Amino acid sequence: MKKIFKTIFILLTLISCEDVIDIDVNNAEPRLVIDASIHWLKGTNGNTQLIQLSLTAPYFDDAIPPATGANVFILDSSNNTFNFIEEGNTGIYKNENFIPVIGEIYNLNILYKSETYIATETMTPVVPIESIEQKNDGGFSGDEIEIKAYYTDPENIENYYLFEFLILDTNSSTLEVYDDEFTDGNQIFAFYSDEDLESGDQMLIRNSGISERTYEFLNILLQQTDEDSGDPFETQTTTVRGNCINQTNPDNFPLGYFRVSETDVFTYVVE
């Protein structure tokens, strides 16, 4: 019997296609990464906002270094200045008197290592999540939990949506972007499916309104972080540049994005 198992094992290792290997990759010079996502949660005053600055790291490193000591502020069109103050040396910058206005144009300004980075974005509104539908026999193998978050798209306006599905226990998040090209004015759903979800798990579903260019950016970015990267249907990988510009030295461009959204949050406990 043992011999049979051994034979099967050897056959399997001979046939199996994929294995994890050690490989040397080039390490580029660190760049500034701007994670500036302003969320105005529906029903709040939206005064407290966070901006996270970090640096790129070598691909196989386990830690991402924060970018500390930067001078960060946002300017609105009526010249209100919102200063973001760093919390210790975390690379997390906080402002507690932000004034969110739908349709307002905000300008981000960051001074880091004597280089100035700027970006502009408009606060984009969003419709609320109306209901959640759960299905327990989803997926290809029929053992995945599927979550559908329904919302109604406003008619005759181009809308773009970013959905974030956050599982609180594991702190994992999945992002999906949608446009309304074929669903204008209809009730439609955002879709999430997971085989590791269990009854009782808490999740946060966030729906944010985003601009068309933010949609394009996130769409390309998400394709590159696809878990199945390397599959034959994948798009050409490349450096994905966002809407932030280095004014002092354009070649040392930053990564990340400056996004200003109205956001609706739905807390859901898996049944």
Q: Which residues bind other proteins (CB under 8 A)?
A: 14-15, 17-23, 25-28, 30-31, 33, 35, 37, 54-62, 64, 164, 166, 173, 175, 220-221, 223-225, 227-240, 255-257
For Cα atoms 139, 232, 22, give the angle at the middle one, nearest 5 degrees.
Answer: 100
CB of 15: closest distance to other proteins in angstroms? Answer: 7
For Cα atoms 226, 229, 230, give the angle at the middle one, nearest 5 degrees.
Answer: 160
Q: What are the φ/ψ torsions at residue 92 (nearest 5 degrees)?
A: -100, 125
Judged by beta carbon, residue 26 or residue 79, the one nearer other proteins is 26
Judged by beta carbon, residue 78 or residue 239, the one nearer other proteins is 239
CB of 35: closest distance to other proteins in angstroms? Answer: 5
CB of 179: closest distance to other proteins in angstroms? Answer: 14
Structure tokens at 193: 């499916």
Other CB atoms closer than 10 Å to residue 96's CB: what's the count?
10
CB of 170: closest distance to other proteins in angstroms? Answer: 10
Rounded CA Rg of the chain: 22
Judged by beta carbon, residue 153 or residue 164, the one nearer other proteins is 164
CB of 257: closest distance to other proteins in angstroms? Answer: 7
Judged by beta carbon, residue 87 or residue 155, the one nearer other proteins is 87
Q: What is the DSSP string of 136-148?
A: EEESSSS-EEEEE
Judged by beta carbon, residue 80 or residue 176, the one nearer other proteins is 176
CB of 49: closest distance to other proteins in angstroms? Answer: 15
- Alpha carbon distances (Å) from 20 to 16, 23, 82, 110: 12, 9, 47, 40
Q: Return the C-alpha torsion angle 229, 235, 239, 244, nearest 10.
A: -110
Asked if 3 and 223 touch (Cβ cutoff 8 Å), the reply is: no
Where are any strands of DSSP class E within 91-154?
A: 92-95, 105-112, 115-122, 131-138, 144-152
User: What residues are paired with 206 via a beta bridge?
Assistant: 164, 265
Judged by beta carbon, residue 1 or residue 25, the one nearer other proteins is 25
